[in-house]
Amino acid sequence: MAPLPVPTSVAKQAEQLKQDGNSYFKKERLGAAIDAYTEAYYMLGLALLEKHDYSGGIKELEKALELGRGANPASYMVEEIWQVLSTAKYMEWEDSSRKRASRLQNLREVCEKALIDYYLIDASEAEDSSRENDHFQQSEYLHEVFDKAAQADTPSEVPDHLCCKITLDIFRDPVITPSGITYERAVLLDHLQRVGKFDPVTREPLEPHQLVPNLAIKEAVQAFLSDHGWAYKGPDQAPPRITSNVKHNLQFLRLWRGLDTAVPVLLVDGYNVCGYWAKLKKHFMKGRLDIARQKLIDELMEFSVLKGDKVLFHHLQQKPSYSCCGYLKF
């Protein structure tokens, strides 16, 4: 696999992380090694998505997710990788479904025209009006066939049996309890810890060690998603909301360590700032992220002129929100 289209600086960072991983591995610091590998795959995946290489990016992100999950299924990294991955899969579906739809539409127009031509020839030969009815039925049926063909690409509801009773969302990592009910692993563990040691639906006593992965449901979910890519997107059209936390920001600083670190850097979690700062919020709430973003940039420009800082943007792409960092040079 050759990640050619990736900018060399990013590729270098990812390579560096991989080497960090290798050296941690040799020193038997396995936790740190896995973290570095996870981060490397994650970065590579993001960079490929930036280049609109969906399938390549998805491949790397899936590796990152698998590694991250193995290390700690409840970590914020796993959640974030999942969010990016499902947005990527949605974009991939959107892309391919647009192509499918236009192919189908072309074929439909050709078929309809052919049917009309056929009818016109037919009508000129036989002066019989009974053919009109046949034609009408055929053209109805043609519509039906094409509507049916477009159905898989039409967003609708995810069937209940593929959704967790707690999240009401499609399963990612389903586990089954001794009562026979299937839940999303992370939230069920959260329930057992916070609410009580019982099955949320049946109220039978339940201990974490009794949970078993439900592989059949997991496969059913995969099968459903491969046919209905639209289901990767939740009801909110907004890009995934990322909570700012210091550890995370520090990690991004590490990714950008090629920068001149002697210059003060201000990290701005733009998405959250736009959602909270009253003067930006009014635009943000109306879905005009672009206006809120521009206003925030203007504010920060002014600020940076005063302070001479560099400003790193965090999660403030207009949509889709792929790249995690933008960089403003002053």
Partner 1 sequence: MTSSSAASRKALSKIACSRLQKELVEWEVNPPTGFKHKVTDNLQRWIIEVVGAPGTLYESEKYQLQVDFPEHYPMEAPQVIFLHPAPLHPHIYSNGHICLDILYDSWSPAMTVSSVCISILSMLSSSTAKQRPADNDRYVKNCRNGRSPKETRWWFHDDKV
**Contact residues for partner 1, defined by CB under 8 A:** 165-169, 187, 190-191, 194-195, 198, 200-201, 203, 234-236, 241, 243
Q: How far apart are CA 124 and CA 4, in angstroms?
A: 61
CB nearer partner 1, residue 234 or residue 308:
234
CB of 69 to partner 1, least distance (A): 17
157 φ/ψ sector (left φ>0, alpha ψ -120 to 50, else beta) = beta
CB of 45 to partner 1, least distance (A): 21
CB nearer partner 1, residue 69 or residue 191:
191
CB of 205 to partner 1, least distance (A): 13
CB of 310 to partner 1, least distance (A): 30
Q: How far apart are CA 13 and CA 257, in angstroms?
A: 9
CB of 48 to partner 1, least distance (A): 26
- Relative to beta strand 212-213, strand 310-314 is unpaired
CB nearer partner 1, residue 119 or residue 198:
198
Say whether the peptide bond before residue 174 is cis (omega within 30 degrees of 0).
no
CB nearer partner 1, residue 28 or residue 236:
236
Q: Kindly state the tokens that stand for 194.
A: 């916070």
Smallest CA-to-CA distance from 74 within 187, 232, 200, 215 is with 187
* 3-state class (DSSP) for residue 36: helix
Length in residues, the chain: 330
CB nearer partner 1, residue 1 or residue 195:
195
Residue 253 CA to its chain's centroid (Å): 23
* CB 83 within 8 Å of CB 240: yes
CB nearer partner 1, residue 167 or residue 251:
167
Q: What radius of gyration, in Å, describes the C-alpha atoms of the chain?
A: 26
CB nearer partner 1, residue 3 or residue 270:
270
User: Residue written as tokens 């037919």?
Assistant: 122
CB of 234 to partner 1, least distance (A): 6
User: Residue written as tokens 């490397």?
Assistant: 40
Q: How far apart are CA 222 and CA 243, in angstroms?
A: 28
CB of 276 to partner 1, least distance (A): 9
